[in-house]
Structure 1
Amino acid sequence: MAEQYTALEVAINTLVKNFHSASSTDADTLTAQEFQSMISKELPTMVTTAGDQEGLNKLLADLNVEEGKGVTFTDFWGLVDSLATTQFGLQSNEKQVKCVKCSLM
């Protein structure tokens, strides 16, 4: 039997692969510009927050990336974790609302 992955698992896998391929020099670290470019392509809804320099600086600060330093995979994983947790919560809430049995418990 072939393993079935959820859409969320596939999305996480894609983000990880694309992080590593986005670096022009070191697969474990992206420059701020490489990170911004990857975010624009892979997470376009975040462009409203990271699309300009001020938004990018805030996102980098939220990820605890020091000014002038690159975005490590560990930094990036914090973002992925936050997004996945939020998305999983949204999906769980949608299922609960649609599930009559669950809402009765």
Structure 2
Amino acid sequence: MIHNLSLAATLPAPGEASSINLPGISVTVGEMLETLCQAGGQAARDRVTHQRDEGVEKIVASWPGRIDNQRALALGFVADKRFDDIIERFRQDDMEGRS
């Protein structure tokens, strides 16, 4: 994230195509929960509950299934490789000193 923000600040004005789809990863909720369990144990996983929310469903249903991020990659933007890396960064950056 920091790399991408720093890179964006150094790029020249984009001209007509002013938006860039930043690269990311595709991960299912199931994969997220599995990673959470691996990183924080079953107790962390058990804190997550499933509750249907029609408002959230409408928002998520409006998202595209795939995004073309080739332009961003060509400009040097980078994507996370694995969801566990995102969890680990969160643990290091945001959970330090918390119990």
TM-score by length of 2: 0.31
TM-score by length of 1: 0.30
